[in-house]
Structure 1
Amino acid sequence: MAGVSSRVRVLTVCSVLVVALLAVAAFAPLPFSLAQPGSTADVLGSRRGEQVITVEGADTRKTTGQLRATTIVATGPDADVRLGDVIDSWFRTDRAVMPRDSVYPVGNTTAEVEKHNFADMRKSQDAATEAALRYLHRSSKDVKVTLDLARIGGPSAGLLFTLGIIDKIDGDGRGGELTGGRTIAGTGTIEPDGTVGPVGGVQLKTQAAKRDGATVFLVPKGECKEAEAVRPEGLQLIPVTTLKDSVSSLRALAAGQSVPTC
């Protein structure tokens, strides 16, 4: 009986410790950020009465389609995320639980993060301009491009900015729009040489795109599987790895031809 009593005492102590740990976990801040679909913005459109993309030194034309850059909204780097919040978001398709360091790799406060995102955005816009002008065989000495979309922070709109510049100046090279009059959304970083890179959060961005009327979504090829897992009905996912294949896919789509899909 003494042995049984000892085991009971051990189990009781262990149970108390487990309950105490769960109680602490329930109220202690966790190193996660909670994200959801954010806004989208048409880079071919206007912001506060001014065009998002302004071109000097080259002829431009009006466009009827849309190229919508997509975003996610996440809890701030200094926000307290609790266990209950994580559990609630974990089982929702319109929410995501992400390691805080993956959302905010630099900066511990909102002000620091905004400063970093602004710097990334400027770098991304410069790369987008260079990639577009290289593709069009235009010189930055003759053509000046100004991009104004402050609410899209970070580098994730790089591909859409690049496509927007090309569409405004050259379209498909035959007088037609790259969009074919459609509402096309997407995400992806861009390098000056035209390489498209991954960005994260694509599952939420596809939902934002569908909500705002997109029927096509350009996704970095390496993130196809993630995007396809919760693809909104009626949204076509087109994988891309370079600016060249992005333009080629859009041209084919506008011409009614088949294109690669995730």
Structure 2
Amino acid sequence: MPRRTATMLASTLMLIALLCAGVFIPVPYSEMSPGPTVNTLGNHDGEPVLQVSGRRTYATSGNLNMTTVRVTSADYRMNLVEAVYGWLAHDNKVVPHDTLYPDGKTEEQSTQENAEEFSQSQESAKVAALKQLGIPVTSWVIVSTVVKDSPAEGRLHAGDVIKAVDDTAVKEPADVAKLVTKHKPGQNVVFTIVPAKEQAAAEKAHKTPTKTEKITITTATSDDSGAKRAIVGISAGTDHTFPFTIDIKLADVGGPSAGLMFALGIYDKLTPGSLTGGNFVAGTGTIDDAGKVGPIGGIEMKTVGARDKGARYFLTPAENCSAAAKDTPGGLRLVKVHTIKDALSALKDIRNGDTADLPKCTTKG
């Protein structure tokens, strides 16, 4: 065999061997890509995304699309060839596996966490929208979760309303930890609660619960990396009673990043006229009860997904602006927002055609 032919054959075989190795060699990476976008003013799977009963609603037009990111599953093992392809693909992003699934988090754990965050984002979206409209919302502090094998297990339960700790009234979730950590580990702390069942029954009857219980719990020592402190093994959260029913019908979506767009959709349905003026607006961002918009992950994927769907404007959390502005999809205009009030102001300018002075995202923020 001529030397040149032999060299070419050896090179070809080496290339084939490398490609085969690339297919079978797993690498510790995951991939993010643009996910579906859903118009919060429209229908999904045959029913309205936002459903309001017990309150007058108004016709809407245009789009207020929430955006998503599609990610590979926790147990998916990417190979070297897929990683290289993902790095080269403009609309995809390859990231370390631990970025999406830290501390060995399983697919089931991630799904559960995302579902809880999604549920909380819906509640905060309702509160933020109604507060912006001046509609009263009743709120109270609850037991959000109870840690397994902690002192609180079996004594307190998710949904219990925390009225006081050591007879000091509780007004915010943060008050609970402050009052518990005043103790030394091993000391008793007394919770005044309305049991979750009592609260649920009172809500169903449109009454204020009157029955409370005092629960004494012996504190334990924290076992995290921070300073040692007294704990009981719960996390506190907030629950609300709304003056009418707002249902958000959107399955197979997780995480907190749709909060802003849900709040705007609710606001639009409860007010005359159209927030968008018929324009196609998309966006993202967490939202808290006070209407503050927070940052999210995967902003580059969400702007691509919005542009591909037809959006012209993208409401962007201020803290995500610099990342989004580095590679803005053609035809999409990024609009910086800090709060729901900022978003409403921007939408007013968009529907009126006064877009010259819209808050801009730049690579500096």
TM-score relative to the length of structure 2: 0.61
C-alpha deviation, 1:147, in angstroms: 0.8
Bigger fraction of residues in strand: 2
Bigger shift: residues 155-164 or 110-119: 110-119
- What are the Cα deviations for residues 83-131 of structure 1, in whole angstroms up to 9, with x where unaligned? 3322221122111012323323477332222221111110110111111
CA contact (8 A) 1:188 1:199 kept: yes
C-alpha deviation, 1:139, in angstroms: 2.6
Counterpart position of 1:260 = 359
Q: In 2, distance between residues paired with 1:51 and 1:78?
A: 34
Q: 1:161 aligns with which of 234, 237, 262?
A: 262
CA contact (8 A) 1:25 1:83 kept: yes
Bigger shift: residues 121-130 or 29-38: 29-38
RMSD: 1.9
CA contact (8 A) 2:59 2:274 kept: no
Q: In 2, distance between residues paired with 1:108 and 1:208?
A: 27
Give identity over the alignment, percent.
Answer: 40
**1:94 and 2:91 correspond:** yes
C-alpha deviation, 1:24, in angstroms: 8.8
Q: In 2, distance between residues paired with 1:62 and 1:30?
A: 51
Q: In 1, distance between residues paired with 2:122 and 2:104?
A: 21
Amino acid at match of 2:91: D
Counterpart position of 1:221 = 318
CA contact (8 A) 1:78 1:108 kept: no
Amino acid at match of 1:46: N
Q: 1:80 to 1:240 in 2, by over 3 A?
A: same
Bigger shift: residues 195-204 or 75-84: 75-84
- What are the Cα deviations for residues 186-207 of structure 1, in whole angstroms up to 9, with x where unaligned? 1111111111111111111111
Counterpart of 1:38 in 2: which secondary structure? strand
Q: 1:58 to 1:203 in 2, by over 3 A?
A: same
The count of aligned residue pairs is: 236
- What are the Cα deviations for residues 117-154 of structure 1, in whole angstroms up to 9, with x where unaligned? 11111011011111111111113442221111113211
Q: 1:114 aligns with which of 111, 116, 125?
A: 111
1:134-213 equivalent positions in 2, closer than 5 A: 134-140=131-137, 141-170=242-271, 175-213=272-310
Q: In 2, distance between residues paired with 1:61 and 1:49?
A: 20
Q: In 1, distance between residues paired with 2:103 and 2:254?
A: 14
CA contact (8 A) 1:36 1:94 kept: yes
Bigger shift: residues 33-42 or 224-233: 224-233
Bigger fraction of residues in helix: 1
C-alpha deviation, 1:27, in angstroms: 4.8
Counterpart of 1:146 in 2: which secondary structure? strand
CA contact (8 A) 1:93 1:230 kept: no
TM-score relative to the length of structure 1: 0.84
5+ residue gaps, structure 2: 1-19, 138-241
Q: In 2, distance between residues paired with 1:104 and 1:193?
A: 30
Q: In 2, distance between residues paired with 1:104 and 1:250?
A: 36
1:44-123 equivalent positions in 2, closer than 5 A: 44-105=41-102, 108-123=105-120
Q: 1:130 aligns with which of 123, 127, 130?
A: 127
Greater Cα radius of gyration, structure 1 or 2:
2
5+ residue gaps, structure 1: 1-22
Bigger shift: residues 185-194 or 250-259: 250-259
Q: 1:106 to 1:121 in 2, by over 3 A?
A: farther
Bigger shift: residues 62-71 or 93-102: 93-102
